[in-house]
Each structure stands twice: as C-alpha cells, then as structure tokens.
Amino acid sequence: MSFRLRICGVLAVLVALNALFVVSLLWAYGVVVPAVVAGTIVFLQHGTASVDILQLPVSWSTVAILVGLFLAAQIYYGYRRVLSGTTRGDADHEAARIVRRLAMTADVPEPTVRLVDAEEPSCYTVGRFTDATIVVSSGLLEQLDRDELEAVLAHEVAHIANRDVTLMTITTLFVEIADRAYHSAQLARRAITNPGNLSAEGRAAVTWFLPLVALTYVFVAPLLWVFPTIADWATRTLSHAREYAADAGAARMTGSPLALATALTTLAGETTAPTTDLRVAKTQALCIVPTKLVTGTSIDAASSAVPAADGADNPTAAQRREQVRTWLEGETPATTGGAALGTGTHPPVKRRVMRLQDLAGALERGEST
C-alpha cells in the first residue's frame, strides 16, 4: 500500500472513530440508560417490560451536525490547550529568524515562534488550518549548536509544509479525550477499589449521582474501552509516517542530514518520556522526540542562548558522522524504553538516524533525495 493511501486510510478511520464516539455517547445516555431505568420501573410495577434500544435519540442529520461540532471543538480547544502557559517571544530572536528563513525556503506562511523557559530540551508544533506555532524550550537552545538548532526547526517547518500539523493536533487530543472518557466511565470501580484516590469531583459525583455512576460503569464503559486503543493505533501510524517525512524534509531544506542526526542523538540522551499519566503523555506525539510539552514564561533574549556558529560548537560533517557512528555502535541512551528506542508515538531514534545517514550519503554522491 502506498504512503498516501495508507494515510488516507488512517484519516478515514479517525473521522469514523470520532463519529462513532459521538454516536456511542448519544445512544448510551439517550437510549440505553433511560431504557434500563424506565424498563426496570415498569417491570417492578407490572411484571413485564418492552424496551426498544435499536434507535437513536436524535435524527442522523443532527448526529452529523454534532460530529462536525465535535471535530471543530477539537481544532479550537486543542490548539489553545497545548499553547496555554506559553507566551509569544521576541520576533527578532535567533530562533525566530531561523524559522522565518526556513519558511521562505519551504514556501509556507511564517509560523509563530514561542520560547519557554524550561530545562527540558523540547520542540513541537501545533496548528490550525490558518496558522501554526512552533514552541522551543531554553533547554533545547542550550543543548544544540546552531546547525543542529536549524535542523530541528527545519524538521518542524517540514511538518507545516506537509500539512500534518493540524491533523496531529486533533489526533493527539482525541486520544486524550477517549482515554479520559473511558477513565471517567470507570468511576464506580475506582470508588470501590481505591476510594482514597478519588478527586473532589469524583467524590461529589459518587455522592450525588451514584445511580448514574453505576449505570455508566455497567452500560457505558464497555462501549468506550475500544476507542483509546484504536485512537492510539491511528496516532502511532500517523506520527511514525510524519516523523520520517519531516526528517527527510528537514534534510533537504538544510542540506545537512547529519546535523539533524546529531541533534536527535543529543535529545534522545537528554529527554525522558512522561511516566506518571499516560493520558497526558499522549501529547508527546507533537514533539520531535517523545517528551512532555514544555510551557512557562517567554524568553526575551533567546538569541544569547544560541551557541556561536564557529569553533568547537559547530563540528564539521566528518565530526558529525563520527558522532553518529559512535552513538550507533555504542549502547544507545535510555535503553529502558525511552526516546532512543522509540515509543508508541515515535519511531526509534536509532532508525531515524540511520535514515538520515543514508540521506547524507545520497547528498554526497549527488543523488536526488
């Protein structure tokens, strides 16, 4: 199956999954739960009950409108949620100038650049149909030299050029929505097995809406358990494909695949994926390597954090090749399952580096990439 057909197939699955999610909630709370309650009351009074559950509480045209509103809300809410806590930085800082030049090279609208004060080296892009924003942490600026920073930013610009930023913003949010919906539907089980860890909202729901909480666990939770699994598969499939495509796009844009390769090896050793809440960790699919999204205050003088373009901070292609070779032949960092080995959201960094090595060899031989 070709790359384009595979992506179209995954997109169709995602749209169908969103529609089925909305239909399942409408059917569960508009038909099944009321039918169970009403049927039980009638049965207790008359000894018999007839319930028709093969229906929807609204028309199919209304379902279509609700699905459209659900997708639109993800576009709007997901973009604002991911960028909450970040502030637009100085438009004249070094990272913004690099992005401006790369956007002109790729012939895409210039994205907004936000810099956040965080030690975690991280870079990710979120977007809607009309705009995109690249978020860069101060830790990234400190860890990478100028060529590596340019390669990482080119990777993000390539995502924009490939038109997959909006798609992945929506996709990662739906994974979180599906996980949270299933988690909430299991409130009754958690209230029995681990009542001490319930949130204030959970305790209030159990106190005031116990019958609904119990009915949700029995009749709704079984409907929702499949959505996180399928959504996670779709996210992983899209993310793996988009990371490879963006790596190749960045290599062509900068003409230096090894700069991105050494940046990936550095980030693979410096970052760790979140382990405390997998529902929140799903948003790591937006990052260049799997790590938490960084937020914080803006950096006004970011250009001072970018290393100089000469000297030891700017290794030659031969030195980069040696760094990559040493890393590939040695023990990879984070061998317990971190960024170097890849996660559900990203292909293994080692595989990405090998592909970039092949691209570098092709460029040296003058072959088309």
Q: Spell 303-325 as b/e; 16+ CB within 10 A means b.
A: eebbbeeeeeebbeeeebbebbe
Give the integer Cα–Cα distance in Å for 147 and 125.
Answer: 19
117 inside domain? yes
Q: Which of 120, 150, 156, 176 is catalytic?
A: 156
- The structural domain count of the chain equals 1
Does a structural domain hold residue 369? no
Among 136-150, 168-182, 262-276, the range scoring the smallest mean pLDDT is 262-276
pLDDT for residue 339 = 42
What secondary structure does DSSP assign to 95-116, as a single string? HHHHHHHHHHHHT-PPPEEEEE
Confidence of residue 338 (pLDDT cuts 50, 70, 90): very low
Long-range (24+ apart) CB contacts under 8 A made by 333-340 are 333/265, 333/268, 333/269, 334/268, 334/269, 334/272, 338/268, 338/271, 338/272, 338/273, 338/290, 339/267, 339/268, 339/271, 339/272, 339/273, 339/289, 339/290, 339/291, 340/268, 340/269
Any domain includes 156: yes
* Structure confidence at residue 341 (pLDDT): 40
pLDDT at 331: 43
What residues does 126 pair with on adjacent strands?
A: 133
Give me the residue label for tokens 């119990």. Answer: 214
What integer is the mean pLDDT of 217-224? 90
**SS3 (DSSP) at 255:** coil
Output the six-digit token pair for 173. Answer: 């949010």
pLDDT at 328: 52
Q: Is residue 301 part of a domain?
A: yes
pLDDT confidence of residue 98: 92
Question: 287-322 pLDDT, tens per residue?
Answer: 666 555 555 544 443 444 455 444 445 555 565 556
Contact of 171 with 234, CB cutoff 8 Å: yes
Which amino acid is present at 15?
Answer: V
Give the SS3 label for residue 134: strand
Is the confidence at residue 283, as pLDDT, over 70?
no
Whether 156 is a known active-site residue: answer yes
pLDDT at 305: 46
pLDDT given for residue 281 in this prediction: 46
Q: pLDDT value at position 104?
A: 92
Mean pLDDT, rounded, for 61-76: 87
Higher-scoring residue by pLDDT: 102, 335: 102
